[in-house]
Amino acid sequence: MNEIHLPEKTREVLHRIRKKYKVGFEPLRIRDVELKILQVQDLEQLLAGKDPFADVSIFPFWVKLWEASLMLADIMASMPCEPGQTLLELGAGLAAPGLVAAARGYKVTLSDYEPHILDFQRVSAAANGLHEVDFRIIDWKKPPVMPRFNTIIGAEILFRDEFFQPLLDVFNQYLAPDGTIYIAHDARRKSLPKFLDLAQKEYQVAVSARKMKSEEGELTIIINRLKRK
């Protein structure tokens, strides 16, 4: 990626990121969508052996492009986008699904909970010439006022039980009446069944399981589609 082609403000953001992280642009191909994603390159040093399935409160989930995120990105690449469709990615991290959706024509809002995460998203969006993208910090317990979205997506967004109801409140606040939610998680995430039990009170929940290969071997990714009852 030739950084000279980035807008000046984006180059300033990238310079700010490089003061803290060793980063580079990595190619990502999802079906016929080709992207360049800004990623942390010294990942192992940053993660320091932390287990993402042991203590989620201390694991920096945003720094890694998770298999569930790639699977959700594939779903976004496979779906046609009608003109004017809006999409919100919650807990977007490096935002592969949302960026793929933007490349497909959605008007996308990427969100997370810390400004430096949004900086990564801004640089990746600019590097791929994706201009119909907005960036918002969203505290699930105090969500800002925003318009409703046709589609809401999220990969590996289930953490502690105390955030389940706030997440459902966010769904209720931001989802258009006839909208659809897609979430994707590694089947090992023990919080998923608990959350779905709660969500089924308000939503029709469809479930599918997909296999994919990773450095750890074959993983099962659970995809859930939620629509209001």
Instruction: Look up residue 2 and give its two tokens.
Output: 């030739």
Is residue 65 a contact partner of residue 42, using CB atoms and an 8 Å limit? no
pLDDT for res 190 = 87
Arithmetic mean of pLDDT, 66-74: 96
Please write the tens of the pLDDT for every residue from 96-140: 999 999 999 999 999 999 999 999 999 999 999 999 899 999 999
pLDDT for res 189 = 86
Query: Within 13 Å, how many C-alpha atoms sit on residue 216's CB side?
Result: 8
- Identify the CA nearest to 153 among candidates 229, 86, 199: 86
Cα separation, 65 vs 212, whole angstroms = 14
Burial classification of residue 207, based on how many CB atoms lie within 10 Å of its CB (0-12 exposed, 13-18 middle, 19 or more buried): exposed
Radius of gyration of the chain (CA): 17
Please write the tens of the pLDDT for every residue from 165-191: 999 999 999 999 999 999 999 998 889
Please write the tens of the pLDDT for every residue from 136-160: 999 999 999 999 999 999 999 997 8
- Supply angle C-alpha 176, 177, 181, rounded to 5: 60
What is the total residue count of the chain? 229
> Does the structure show a pLDDT above 90 at 34?
yes
Assign 64 a pLDDT band (cuts: 50, 70, 90): confident
Cα separation, 86 vs 132, whole angstroms = 10
Domain ranges of the chain: 3-228
pLDDT for res 33 = 97
- Give the 3-state secondary structure of residue 82: coil
- Indicate the CATH number for domain 3-228: 3.40.50.150
- Give the 3-state secondary structure of residue 34: strand
Cα separation, 93 vs 34, whole angstroms = 19
Q: Is 217 left (phi over 0), alpha (psi -120 to 50) or beta?
A: left
Instruction: Look up residue 24 and give its two tokens.
Output: 């580079």
Query: Which residues partner with 30 through β-bridges?
Result: 33
Contacts of 175 (CB under 8 A, 6+ apart): 148, 149, 152, 181, 228
